[in-house]
Amino acid sequence: MLEACDVTVGYRRGESVLRGISLQLAAGEWLGLSGASGSGKSTLGRVLAGHLAPRRGSLRLDGTALPRRGLHPVQWLPQVPELAVNPRWRIGRVLNEAWSPSAAQRRRFGIDDAWLERYPHELSGGELQRVVVLRGLAPGVRYLIADEITSMLDAITQAALWQALGEEAQARRLGVLVIGHDPALLQRLCQHRVRLEQGQLFASS
Amino acid sequence: MSGAAQAKASQRVLRGNPRLGLALGALALLVALIALLIAQPTLAERAAASDFQARLLAPGGEHWFGTDVLGRDLLARTLQGLTLSLWVGAAAALLGTLIALGLAALACHGPRTDVAVGLLVDSVLGLPHLILLILIAFAMGGGTQAVIIAVALTHWPSLTRVLRAELLQLRQADYVRLSRRFGKSRGYIIRHHLLPALLPHCLVGGLLLFPHAILHEAALTFLGFGLSPGQPAIGVLLAESLRYLSAGYWWLGVFPGLGLLLLVLAFDRLGNALRRLLTPREAQQ
Amino acid sequence: MLEIRQLALDFLRYRGLWRRETVTCLRDVSLTLARGELHAVVGASGAGKSLMAQALIGLLPGNTRRRGELWLDGEPLDAARQAALRGKRLALIPQSLAALDPLVRSHRQVAWAAQRGGAAAPRAAAERAMAQLGLVGDSARRYPHQLSGGMARRVLLAMATAGNAEWLIADEPSVGLDPQQRDGVLDQLRRVADTGKGVLLITHDLRHALRVADRVTVFHAGTTLETAPATAFHGRGEALASDYARALWRALPDNDFARPAAREATQLA
């Protein structure tokens, strides 16, 4: 169980993006998070994945604090894959930075072996996003923060990516926080859905 | 761009490759530098050999650049001066780049060191360049070492700014943050993500620093605060020529000056071409 | 009528430091855009949609080779004509927000665009165009870095409409916008089309393009596979001619949300 307790984040003094947010994500659970742009969805995602320290509040994984070193058990998957890879590295190196996915896993994510020798700018956004998602699934990762990972992709690529991720998450009982705009997509993917408004969470119907 | 998927078998296109000019220029410069290095012993000898039968000869068949007041061959002295400038410039540029890299790393260490480095950069940039140069060279008693250190100590600020900005941006980059969350150590990130990204900037920055260093070495020597008058440095040649210019011995100033100008322009062009080459967006044009 | 006839594009690019290779980005792109029409071009990212837009307006990078023809109102649209019409009768709403001048307040940039477009009173025209998009008062006078992504998109759109261009090419105008802002921008494009202009909407978002578009062209791997009326995207896609278009329609989350079966996928790739 990944728990956020009373998390408050403010970029400037006196201005809070998140106001005392508490959230629970169980192993194997898919939770949808929506909200207008600027509502702090991404900020919450970054806090959960340990990219941003909250000003107040705590994060717990199965009742204990999250590790400060080593592989973080909560991994953040970004909207723009181009920014999430070192532009000077070949795809093979990018993919293997966190762990070494097997050929079968690469195939399930539709990653062509020929890509491994290429540079990131030689792949399309959809192709690169599959690499970034598979890279984030290292053994030891238990929760995923999918921050609008398919909002730049066409429908076919989107469906294929979620299907591959879904199979992997089911096999390993990964908990997934799906951040997104598209109600139809969140409805498809998630058992529960919440909305972020004015720094606070509301259950969405 | 999924275009690569459709890449035809790569074909060699020699004719009309826009990089041909750059490649030839760089090659010519390299050949010239190597030739200069090989000819060094002969040059040194000729540059020092005075011939009182041949004083202040105008440029001609035997002495292409003419001779000076002691009958020494000006071509040999100019080339010798340029070689000296190259060494001094290279050493100063390297030292300046290292200072810039170290200070940029320090600036990214924390908000306090950032303010301190920023203050240092601004104060050095705020002081008149040449005066600072003269002060440092003078305080160190002149000579080759003093010139190198003086030029290096005055030329790091602009590169420090560039490297600091680049480093700050890199540290916030998603792929660097992610690398940390994959459990990679600080050292790994520096070695594999940060340094390789900074290297091109250092290379271009150092190369563009080089002509500056040469010019300032010459200026410093010209004013008498740099290399000793016994050495055939370009600055020394130019300073000597002043006395004879009004008497019509134009070649004494023109040839060393032209040599300096060409060397500086060549490295400036090379540095800028390299910068374009390493900028992904401009590289393909 | 704006026409693209069998447009193809090759890139000449460096592989390593010296070797160059030819990369084909567009193979066979054909479509027509009529006055009063909103024509959506839908396809995966990297399929070459943006290059098509750049080719139309004549702003391709220097290392591209173009084949095929462009026609405008029965006359060839060559480089000279593109240069003459660009920003006047032919306008592009670029994908990158970096297209705004960071040093100039947005209302002035819109006024410049209006002036370039030949408006008699550029300032008034700019104000009108911005007001239509909800950019009034203080928010209209901000510098680009003070604008949110949604507002910057609307400023770019206002620049294109203030000049009163007859042909508008909008390259991914709804990227990064939340649903409300996205609908606002798309509705505005629809209104522009309804005043008799031709609007080409380039997007990867089939679902929301369908709401405003008259016709949809499906783009895949540098080729326009099919142009269909927006109403053909209905039911299980029986009215669509190509497998890819049907797969694209069915893959939407509110339809089957399914990727094509493996056999089909290899045929499509």
Predicted local confidence at residue C260, as pLDDT? 64
The β-bridge relationship of strands C64-72 and C75-76 is antiparallel
Q: What is the pLDDT of residues B224-235, one digit of tens each?
A: 887 877 777 888
Predicted local confidence at residue A132, as pLDDT? 96
Residue A172: which residues within 8 A CB-CB, separation 6 or more?
A: A142
Q: Which tops the pLDDT comparison, B279 or B173? A: B173
Record: contact B182-A98, CB cut-off 8 A: yes
Predicted local confidence at residue B251, as pLDDT? 85
User: Is the CB of residue B276 less than 8 Å away from at least one CB of chain C?
Assistant: no
User: Is the CB of residue C18 less than 8 Å away from at least one CB of chain B?
Assistant: yes
CA angle at residue A74 from A72 to A78, to 5 degrees? Answer: 105
Chain A residues closer than 8 Å to B172 by CB: none
Record: contact B11-C25, CB cut-off 8 A: no
Residue A13: how many other CB atoms lie within 10 Å: 7
Nearest to A137 by CA among A105, A113, A93: A105
Record: contact B178-A76, CB cut-off 8 A: yes
Q: Residue C266 pLDDT > 70, yes or no?
A: no
Q: What is the pLDDT of residues C12-67, one digit of tens each?
A: 777 777 777 888 889 999 999 999 999 999 988 777 888 899 899 998 877 788 89
Q: How confident is the model at residue C261 (pLDDT cuts 50, 70, 90)?
A: low
Q: Residue B192 pLDDT > 60, yes or no?
A: yes
Q: What is the pLDDT of residues A150-204, one digit of tens each?
A: 988 889 889 999 999 999 999 999 999 999 988 889 999 998 999 998 888 998 7
Min distance B54 CA to chain A CA atoms (Å): 60
| End-to-end CA, chain C | 32
Q: Percentage of residues in chain C with pLDDT exceeding 70?
A: 96
Min distance A13 CA to chain B CA atoms (Å): 17
Q: What is the mean pLDDT of residues A103-107?
A: 93
Q: HSE of B162 in the Cβ direction (CA atoms, 13 Å)?
A: 20
Residue B166: how many other CB atoms lie within 10 Å: 18
8 Å CB contact between A82 and A132? no
Q: Residue B63 pLDDT > 90, yes or no?
A: no
State the average pLDDT for chain B.
Answer: 82
Min distance A51 CA to chain C CA atoms (Å): 21
Q: What is the pLDDT of residues B234-247, one digit of tens each?
A: 888 888 888 888 88
Six-digit token string for B61: 């068949």
Predicted local confidence at residue A11, as pLDDT? 66
The β-bridge relationship of strands C64-72 and A192-197 is unpaired
Six-digit token string for C165: 């261009």
Option in C15, C18, C23 nearest B6 (CB): C23
Predicted local confidence at residue C6, as pLDDT? 94
Nearest CA in chain C to B20: C18
Q: What is the mean pLDDT of residues C213-224?
A: 92
Chain A residues closer than 8 Å to B196 by CB: 88
**φ, ψ (nearest 5 deg) of residue C65:** -120, 130
Q: What is the pLDDT of residues B1-57, one digit of tens each?
A: 334 333 443 344 445 677 777 888 888 888 988 888 888 888 778 777 777 787 777
User: Is the CB of residue B16 less than 8 Å away from at least one CB of chain C?
Assistant: no
Min distance A53 CA to chain B CA atoms (Å): 13
CA Rg value for chain B: 23
User: Is the CB of residue B7 less than 8 Å away from at least one CB of chain C?
Assistant: yes
Q: Residue C262 pLDDT > 50, yes or no?
A: no
Residue A122: which residues within 8 A CB-CB, separation 6 or more?
A: B1, B3, B4
Q: What is the pLDDT of residues B97-142, one digit of tens each?
A: 999 999 998 988 888 988 999 999 998 888 887 888 888 888 888 7
Q: What is the mean pLDDT of residues C91-117?
A: 88
Option in B2, B23, B284 nearest C13 (CB): B284
Record: contact A97-B177, CB cut-off 8 A: no
Q: What is the mean pLDDT of residues A62-80?
A: 91
Min distance A166 CA to chain C CA atoms (Å): 12
The predicted model scores a pTM of: 0.81
Residue B21: how many other CB atoms lie within 10 Å: 10
State the average pLDDT for chain C.
Answer: 87
Its ipTM equals 0.91
B202-240: b or e for each residue (b if 16 or more CB lie within 10 Å)? bebbbbbbbbbbbbbbbbbbbebbbbeeebbbbbbbbbb
Residue B183: which residues within 8 A CB-CB, separation 6 or more?
A: A69, A70, A71, A72, A98
Q: Cα C84 to the chain's mean position, in Å?
A: 20
Report long-range pairs for A98-106 (Cβ below 8 Å, ≥24 apart): A98/A71, A98/A135, A98/A136, A98/A138, A98/B182, A98/B183, A99/A135, A99/A137, A99/A138, A99/A139, A101/A134, A101/A135, A101/A137, A105/A134, A105/A137, A105/A168, A106/A134
CA distance C97 to C91: 16
Q: How confident is the model at residue A99 (pLDDT cuts 50, 70, 90)?
A: very high
Residue C219: which residues within 8 A CB-CB, separation 6 or more?
A: C29, C41, C42, C43, C44, C47, C48, C49, C52, C225
Instruction: Give residue ranges of C with CB < 8 Å to any A CB.
Output: 42-47, 148-150, 175-181, 204, 206-207, 247-249, 251-254, 257-260
Q: What is the mean pLDDT of residues C199-222?
A: 93
Residue C257: left if φ>0, alpha if ψ -120 to 50, beta else—which one? Answer: left
Q: What is the mean pLDDT of residues A77-92?
A: 91
Record: contact B8-C24, CB cut-off 8 A: yes
Six-digit token string for C97: 């927000």
User: Is the CB of residue C136 less than 8 Å away from at least one CB of chain B?
Assistant: no
3-state secondary structure labels for all residues of C87-155: CCCEEEECCCHHHCCCCCCHHHHHHHHHHHCCCCCHHHHHHHHHHHCCCCHHHHHCCHHHCCHHHHHHH
Helix (H, G, I), strand (E, B) or coil at B7: strand
Q: Which tops the pLDDT comparison, C191 or B15? A: C191
Q: What is the mean pLDDT of residues C137-154?
A: 83
Residue B118: which residues within 8 A CB-CB, separation 6 or more?
A: B107
Q: Residue C222 pLDDT > 60, yes or no?
A: yes
Predicted local confidence at residue C269, as pLDDT? 41
